[in-house]
Structure 1
Amino acid sequence: MQVNFGLFMLVSIATVSCGQHVEKIIRNDFDGPHADGSYRWALQTEGGIFHEQLGSLQSTAAEEPSLLVEGQYQYTAPDGQVINVLYKADKNGFHAEGDHIPTPPPIPPAIQRALDYLATLPPPTDYQ
Structure 2
Amino acid sequence: MKLLTFLLVISTAIVLVSSKPAPPAPPPPQIVKSSFDLDPSGSYNFGFETENGIVKDEVGSVKAIKNEKGMDEPAVVVKGSYSYYDPDGNQIVLTYIADENGFQPQGAHLPTL
TM over 0.5: yes
Give secondary structure in 1 for the equivalent of 2:111: coil
Structure 1 position 81, deviation (Å): 1.5
Matched, 1:65 2:71: no
Correspondences of 1:34-49 after superposition (within 5 Å): 34-49=39-54
- The residue type paired with residue 69 of structure 1 is V
Equivalent of residue 98 in structure 1, options 89, 96, 107:
107
Give secondary structure in 2 for the equivalent of 1:64: strand
Residue deviations 1:27-61, cap 9 Å, x none? Answer: 110111x1211001011001000000000110158
Q: Could you tell me the percent identity over the aligned residues?
A: 38
Distance in 1, Cα, partners of 2:88 & 2:61: 36
Higher strand share: 2
Gaps spanning 5+ residues in structure 2: where?
1-25
TM superposition outliers: structure 1 runs of 4+ over 6 Å: none
Match of 2:30 in 1: 24
Who wins on radius of gyration, i.e. which is larger? Answer: 2
Higher helix share: 1
Instruction: Tell me the TM-score normalized by structure 2.
Output: 0.69
Distance in 2, Cα, partners of 1:93 & 1:78: 30
The structure-2 alpha-carbon separation of the partners of 1:93 and 1:60, relative to structure 1 and needing over 3 Å to count, comes to: closer
Residue deviations 1:1-22, cap 9 Å, x none? Answer: xxxxxxxxxxxxxxxxxxx741
